[in-house]
């Protein structure tokens, strides 16, 4: 059996299409290794026509590491590790901003696997940006300025109180999540734990301030960095089809879920790898 994956880059910096594998079945060690290396190289991988159940998606994600259980998002009945992002007019999305998943914890997730379950007729694309490419594009003196700076990341920035007062139960879950996830610090520039390559590591979704700077300096620098990451040169944009799956390296990327599809409905399943 030919187990060689076909990996086609979708641009010079980020993104690749992967073919010749079936994610619903357990991957062989060779397939997993090829997938893992493609992920390290391209940062986000896309696979077409991969219907996976929540349990199959969870099992695939577990090959990469332990899984995170989200403090507020609902999960699939069959697997609490699979977040259900079911968005529509009465539940508008909250991920239409540039963010890296779950940077509000001390050891943020290394990756995620997202499966398209129900798509609007048009719209609902997701964009990923490479923190490597964004960092590399900065001038040497500017990179020097960022070195050693620490930024605060806060759960409440993406999950504000006013959005979580729907029911007593939802509000209690939110309050517990706030209690368990106080703001914490991460470096503004981080090194990839495998390659050592440097990447920009602030995201608009969760980063509130650079604690080593005066507030106005922090505001100015963050607004520059948040704008910088949105340069199309650093990005790949995926137009979803039913049963597509994306896998990304959450340590060096950020993403934006385009919210142009309302009032249509869109359902995605996400496994988050620690
Ligand atoms: C996410 O923000 O993790 C999911 C992205 C999407 O729904 O496209």
Tell me the C-alpha distance between 187 and 151, whole Å: 6
Does residue 165 carry a catalytic annotation? no
Q: Which of 126, 204, 236 maximizes ligand 1 atoms within 8 Å of its Cβ, making it the mutation to test the pocket?
A: 126
Q: Which of 164, 186, 269, 270 is catalytic?
A: 270
CATH top class, domain 6-273: alpha beta
pLDDT at position 166 is: 83
CA 149 to centroid of ligand 1, rounded, Å: 28
Of the listed ranges 31-35, 90-94, 134-138, the least confidently predicted one is 90-94
Q: What is the pTM of this model?
A: 0.95
Tell me the C-alpha distance between 199 and 169, whole Å: 39
Let me know: does 166 contact 263? Beta carbons within 8 Å: no
Q: Which of 42, 58, 94, 101 is catalytic?
A: 101
Does residue 153 carry a catalytic annotation? no
Of the listed ranges 42-56, 139-153, 157-171, 228-242, the least confidently predicted one is 157-171
For residues 206-212, give the mean pLDDT: 98
For residues 105-129, give the mean pLDDT: 97
Check pLDDT > 90 for residue 196: yes
Through-space distance between the first and last CA atoms of the chain, rounded to whole angstroms: 32
Question: Predicted confidence band at 1 (pLDDT cuts at 50, 70, 90)?
Answer: low
Identify any residues that bridge with 255 across adjacent strands, giving them in sequence order.
99, 128
Check pLDDT > 90 for residue 2: no
Does residue 88 carry a catalytic annotation? no
Q: What are phi and psi of 44, to 5 degrees?
A: -145, 135
Atom of ligand 1 nearest to the CA of 257: 8
pLDDT at position 3 is: 85
For residues 67-92, give the mean pLDDT: 94
Domain ranges of the chain: 6-273
């Amino acid at each position: 059996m030919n187990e060689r994956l076909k990996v086609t880059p979708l641009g010079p910096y980020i993104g690749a299409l992967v073919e010749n594998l079936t994610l619903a079945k357990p991957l062989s060690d060779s397939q997993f290794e090829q997938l893992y290396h493609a992920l390290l190289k391209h940062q986000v991988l896309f696979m077409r026509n991969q219907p996976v159940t929540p349990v199959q998606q969870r099992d695939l994600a577990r090959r990469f590491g332990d899984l995170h259980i989200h403090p507020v998002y609902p999960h699939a009945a069959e697997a609490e590790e699979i977040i259900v992002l079911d968005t529509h007019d009465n539940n508008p999305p909250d991920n239409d901003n540039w963010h890296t998943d779950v940077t509000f914890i001390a050891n943020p997730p290394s990756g995620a696997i997202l499966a398209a379950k129900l798509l609007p007729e048009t719209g609902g694309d997701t964009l990923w940006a490479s923190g490597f490419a964004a960092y590399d594009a900065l001038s040497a003196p500017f990179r020097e300025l960022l070195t050693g700076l620490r930024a605060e990341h806060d759960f409440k920035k993406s999950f504000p109180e006013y959005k979580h007062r729907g029911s007593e139960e939802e509000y209690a879950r939110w309050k517990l999540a706030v209690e368990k996830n106080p703001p914490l610090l991460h470096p503004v520039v981080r090194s990839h734990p495998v390659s050592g390559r440097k990447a920009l590591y602030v995201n608009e979704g969760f980063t509130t301030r650079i604690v080593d700077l005066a507030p106005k300096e922090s505001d100015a620098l963050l607004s520059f960095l948040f704008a910088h990451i949105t340069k199309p040169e650093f990005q790949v944009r995926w137009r979803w089809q039913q049963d597509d799956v994306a896998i990304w390296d959450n340590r060096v990327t950020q993403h934006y879920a385009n919210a142009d599809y309302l009032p249509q409905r869109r359902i995605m399943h996400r496994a988050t790898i620690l």
